[in-house]
A and B are shown apart, each in its own frame.
Chain A
């Protein structure tokens, strides 16, 4: 069953605008990860945030984690047409065997030139 649920399901913005995507999850986590998937390709890891971290940056990406609300957000600043892709959050549960990664259903981001 899906642990993470992304919101919105689809997002369309103009190039240069910021894109904010949200993820909520149900059980306590060890870490939360965001991945990008371009059409017809595999997933590419973007950023990992541990449960004791609140915010991480990587280039134009900013991820926040609120464990009290069981939610995370991914912000892409100054978006580009090349950012058009599907974005997935994935969680690693705090308990349970072997640190399995559980994915949400994904957000489709379209960046208009």
Chain B
């Protein structure tokens, strides 16, 4: 089973560039989320979605956009990359109710 798949695994951008981090899950989960992980900070929620067509902001949404046109996909867009967005990004999904999250292996992003 593929689970949650994130692409790319690594990316280097220049300040001001835009890009999309891809996330796909094959478990038919309603809930999907994007987190960033920085040293000493744990995971912080960027955006999340409770179903196709429904998204909402998390703790640190500035500089990021999301959309959820299908149940399977939840891309994260960086509009104009800044060095402060250098981080490891994780996508996760879960089903409805009190259920655990399933994480992808992350995208390691460096902004120069």
Interfacial residues, chain A to chain B (CB-CB below 8 A): 1-2, 30-31, 33, 35, 41-45, 48, 50, 88, 90, 92, 97-106
Q: Is the CB of A43 within 8 A of B90?
A: yes
**Interface size classification for chain B:** 20 to 34
- A102: which of B45, B98, B106 is its contact (CB, 8 Å)? B45
B102 within 8 A of A: yes
In the assembled complex, the Cα of A30 lies from the Cα of B104 at a distance in Å of 24
Q: Is the CB of B42 within 8 A of A101?
A: no
In the assembled complex, the Cα of A106 lies from the Cα of B41 at a distance in Å of 8
Q: Is the CB of B103 within 8 A of A42?
A: yes
B25 contacts across to A, CB distance below 8 A = none
Q: A42-B105, A101-B33 are in contact. List 19 more A-B contacts (CB 8 A).
A: A1-B59, A30-B98, A31-B98, A35-B101, A35-B103, A42-B106, A43-B101, A45-B100, A48-B99, A48-B100, A50-B98, A97-B56, A98-B48, A98-B50, A99-B31, A100-B48, A103-B44, A104-B42, A105-B42
Closest chain A CB from B3 CB (angstroms): 9
The DSSP consensus for interface residues of chain A is strand
Question: B31-46 interface mask toward A, CB cutoff 8 Å, 1 = contact, 0 = none?
Answer: 1010100001111110
Whether A105 contacts B103 in the complex (CB less than 8 A), given A42-B90, A48-B98, A98-B50, comes out as: no
A-B CB contacts (within 8 Å), total count: 57
Q: Is the CB of B103 within 8 A of A106?
A: no
B44 contacts across to A, CB distance below 8 A = 103
Question: B5-44 interface mask toward A, CB cutoff 8 Å, 1 = contact, 0 = none?
Answer: 0000000000000000000000000010101000011111
B58 within 8 A of A: yes
Interfacial residues, chain B to chain A (CB-CB below 8 A): 4, 31, 33, 35, 40-45, 48, 50, 56, 58-59, 90, 92, 98-106
Q: Is the CB of A101 within 8 A of B101?
A: yes
Closest chain A CB from B21 CB (angstroms): 14
B40 contacts across to A, CB distance below 8 A = 105
Closest chain B CB from A86 CB (angstroms): 10
Q: Is the CB of A103 within 8 A of B42?
A: yes
In the assembled complex, the Cα of A103 lies from the Cα of B102 at a distance in Å of 14
